[in-house]
Amino acid sequence: MGLADGPTWNVVADIRQLWSFPFMVNAFRAGTIIAVASAVMGWFMVLRRQTFAGHTLALVGFPGAAGATLIGVSATYGYFAFCVGAALVIAAIPRAGGGSYGHESAVTGTVQAFALACGFLFIALYKGFLNGVNALLFGTFLGITDGEVVGLLVVTLVVLVVLAVLGRPLLFVSVDPVVAEARGIPVRLVSTGFLILLGAAVAEASQITGTLLVFALLVMPAAAAQTLTARPVFSLVLTVVIAVLVTWVGLSAAYYSVYPIGFFVSTVAFVVYVVARGVRVGRVS
């Protein structure tokens, strides 16, 4: 079993039990912060059809954290250094005609493969406890400190403030980059800024969901919301709501289980997406 015998039919008592432990309170705080950042960034990522780039940034967090562990520093520094660095590499890829992602996909895939190879090399050199590798790949909610919660909050606030400044031009660039460029919007600069913010959001989320499953929190709530509605503001708000609920359910399930939180977050997010697709098909028919 997990940290407790199992949930009961008394939901209020179960919630009180969850929040009676400081580490679970911090887990819910950190999870909520990460869910909001991932939802907002994921919404733009799905809209811009850059999910492959987001997937690569998520995987790049693994060698970053492993490399940081190898040299004896906090894995957090590795997450942010590698994710933001990879975002800059992807942003530097030229696009034919200003909007083609074909060459970007090829180079992004190359970065992804090389990063994964480096990650496993760092793990082999470290020769540490295997459970640490599992935490890097599949996530954990244990051991989140008050200081880490504050750090995540600061990063999220910076990301959201910068995104608010870039919001309108980024939306324009995402919908029609050719027209946006003709209107004088610096398309490449805006796109680079978005990728850097996406790298920061991925580095945040990886610390709880793990590098292999962070992608679920980035893409599935946004994909579900955009499937249900085409209205940008409502879709964005719905994405945040879904991401927060998915994270809370995942944290609660992980508390009563021996399995990593990333599995539950991914499973719940997938179920929400399937339901959203079903609703969409029902409307069409």
Could you read off the pLDDT of 89-134 as tens digits, one per residue?
888 876 544 444 445 567 777 777 888 888 878 877 876 654 555 6
Closest of 33, 43, 41 to residue 222, by C-alpha: 43
Mean pLDDT score, 263-267: 85
Is 145 a residue whose pLDDT tops 50?
yes
Mean pLDDT of 209-216: 70
Evaluate if residue 171 carries a pLDDT over 90: no
How far is Cα 162 from Cα 191, in angstroms, rounded to an integer? Answer: 13
The answer, yes or no, to whether residue 136 has pLDDT greater than 70, is: no
Question: How much of the chain, in percent, has pLDDT values that exceed 70?
Answer: 82
> Residue 238: what pLDDT?
95
Residue type, 245: L
pTM value? 0.80
| pLDDT class of 135 with cuts at 50, 70, 90 | low
| 32-61 per-position pLDDT tens digit | 998 898 899 999 999 888 888 888 888 888
Residue 239 binned pLDDT confidence (cut-offs 50, 70, 90): very high
Q: Which of 88-97, 193-202, 207-216 has the highest mean pLDDT?
A: 193-202
pLDDT value of position 14: 67
Percent of the chain with pLDDT over 90: 14
Asked whether the beta carbons of 173 and 190 are under 8 A apart, the reply is yes
Q: What is the pLDDT of residue 221?
A: 93
29 class by beta-carbon count within 10 Å (0-12 exposed, 13-18 middle, 19+ buried): middle
What's the whole-number mean pLDDT along residues 208-220? Answer: 75
Task: Quote the CA–CA distance of 172 and 175 in Å, as a whole number.
Answer: 5
Q: How confident is the model at residue 172 (pLDDT cuts 50, 70, 90)?
A: confident
250 burial level (CB within 10 Å; 0-12, 13-18, 19+) = buried
Predicted local distance difference test score (pLDDT) of residue 12 = 66
Range 233-239 average pLDDT: 93
Flag whether pLDDT at 1 surpasses 50. no
Q: What's residue 274's pLDDT?
A: 93
Look at residue 276 and tell me whether its pLDDT is greater than 80: yes
State both tokens at 275: 């339901």
Contacts with 142 (C-beta within 8 Å, 6 or more apart), sequence order: 23, 27
Token pair of 200, please?
A: 């920061």
pLDDT on residue 132:
59
Could you give the CA distance from residue 64 to residue 78 in angstroms, rounded to a whole number?
4
| Per-residue confidence (pLDDT) for residue 97, from 0 to 100 | 45
Which whole-number Å values give the CA distances from 89 to 58, 146, 162, 177, in the listed order? 14, 33, 20, 20
Q: How many CA atoms lie within 13 A of 208 on its CB side?
A: 34
More confident residue, 163 or 140: 163
Q: What is the pLDDT of residues 64-81, one digit of tens each?
A: 888 888 888 877 888 888
Question: Rounded to whole angstroms, how far apart are CA atoms 110 and 172?
Answer: 29
In which band, very low, low, confident or very high, does the pLDDT at 3 lie, cut at 50, 70 and 90?
low
In SS3 terms, the chain reads as: CCCCCCCCCCHHHHHHHHCCCHHHHHHHHHHHHHHHHHHHHHHHHHHCCCHHHHHHHHHHHHHHHHHHHHHCCCHHHHHHHHHHHHHHHHHCCCCHHHCCCHHHHHHHHHHHHHHHHHHHHHHHHHCCCHHHHHHHHHCCCCCCCHHHHHHHHHHHHHHHHHHHHHHHHHHHHHHCHHHHHHCCCCHHHHHHHHHHHHHHHHHHHHHHHCCCCHHHHHHHHHHHHHHHCCCHHHHHHHHHHHHHHHHHHHHHHHHCCCCCHHHHHHHHHHHHHHHHHHHHHHHHC
Asked if 139 and 208 touch (Cβ cutoff 8 Å), the reply is yes
